[in-house]
Amino acid sequence: MRRTGQQTRRRFLGAAAALAATDGRASTGTPRSGETEHFWYREQPPGKYIDSQRGNKAFAYSEGKIFLSTDNGHTWPHSADFAQAAGIRFSHILGNGNVVFATGNKLYLSTDNLRNYQEVRVKAPDGSDYVPHTPQNPEQTGWYFHTLPGTVSWRVKGKEMMVWGNYCNVLGGATPVNIYYSTDSGRTVKIAYSFGQNPFFSDNGTPGGGKGGTLLGDPNNKVLCRHVHTVAYNPVENAFYATTGDHTRGLGHECHWLRGTYDDRQDRWDWKVPVSDVSNSRYKCGGLNFVKGTLYWVSDSNGPKPHDRGVFRCDPKDLLSLDKHTNLYNPEVESACMIIQDKTILAAHCAPATPLNTGFIVSTDMGKTWAQEDLKEFGKRSPVRFHEKNGEGWFRVDLRSGWIQHAEVLFIKPKPAGKKRSRTTG
């Protein structure tokens, strides 16, 4: 448990500069801003990395400090010392105001606007403590809780439920791949699903894992993957869907779709794998969204050509029927992140795979017209972790350098549909 402390201006500026120098996660110059034909955009203010938002609240950190705003990031009245702040890899603000945040392999909860926080011990399905592995390299503990979507909780049978999977085995050390859940606003976090031991991402001390190290994951599960791309909830079915990556390496496909249902009376999950496929398929994807029971996703297809790419839509019951999928728009580039809110569809280009610098795919009329926008001033960036609009109507987006390294935070506000004609190329 920790108490908040005072921070002098000199200490704050020094901490912000240190964070920017070591990881690029705090803006130190004049925030960049502008507009495209379809949205306004602005970079986060300098000094903090704004990691998540919910309604009028926002959670941020700088070196050695965490912060909470209640007015969309204009002021930060709540703060606490947190020595590992520069290593934060995940955070989420729940509807009741609780804040869940995590470093590489440790999860924390504050229920009182950061006056106090405590570590949350994850529970295995049998109720025992789920203990993170001892890493070969102490500096590479693994990304146990880092995830690509910004939306990780939903109203399920009248109460909020958190469900998310870890995007890992790229940076930070080899990591077992799990889906986590909480039904009590982060006070208890449990394993909903554990993937099997993938020998291609064992703990050999390297940032992404590799062969010849300690095997991680469930030894009894034959379903292997590299990481989870997304988890989403369909209230019409009362079911969760998840997708994973990455390739086919000789031990079966790593690109899977999972469908899970949760029995709250018995605190038990039932998961099925309806489809597994190769990496150049539309089933290698992310950005799952459900709108009035209809399933939307964006293809992350890569590997051998031809690539089956686009923003797709179908009835969930038709997931396995390719001829019943509607390809709303093909950006001709791989993408694994997308959000849909208030008839705006916002997705992103993967920077290493696109001729654009910071590429966005956008529709402000629920897919009737489309555009691709390139925010060139940010350089090669991959937008991920799209958070729903805050109280002032701004989406929050991580900008990652290259593929997944933390860089800047961007806020995007869609323009009203119909004001201007949409373009189909950026």
Nearest in space to 189 (alpha carbons), one of 152, 232, 151, 233:
152
Contacts of 423 (CB under 8 A, 6+ apart): 37, 371, 372
Work out the number of other CB atoms within 10 angstroms of the CB of residue 131.
10
Whether the predicted pLDDT of 25 surpasses 60: no
Per residue in 134-143, pLDDT (tens digit) is 999 999 999 9
Q: Quote the pTM value.
A: 0.92
Q: At 393, list the tokens.
A: 């109507």
**CA–CA separation, 250 vs 317, rounded Å?**
30
Residue whose C-alpha is closest to residue 147's, from 240, 27, 244 = 244
Categorize the per-residue pLDDT at 421 as very low, low, confident or very high, splitting at 50, 70 and 90: very low
Domain spans of the chain, in order of start: 9-414
Phi, psi of 299 (to 5 degrees): -80, 135
Token match 């029971």: residue? 293
Condensed to tens digits (0 to 9), the pLDDT of residues 164-179 reads 999 999 999 999 999 9
Mean pLDDT of 227-240: 98
CB burial string 208-246: b at 16+ within 10 A, e below: bbbeebeebbbeeeebbbbbbbbbbbbeeeebbbbbbbb
pLDDT (0 to 100) of residue 418:
66
Per the structure block, which two tokens stand in for 66? Answer: 């965490």
Q: What CATH code would you report for 9-414? A: 2.130.10.10
Is the model's pLDDT at 425 over the cut of 50?
no
Residue 102: band (very low, low, confident or very high) from pLDDT cuts 50, 70, 90? very high
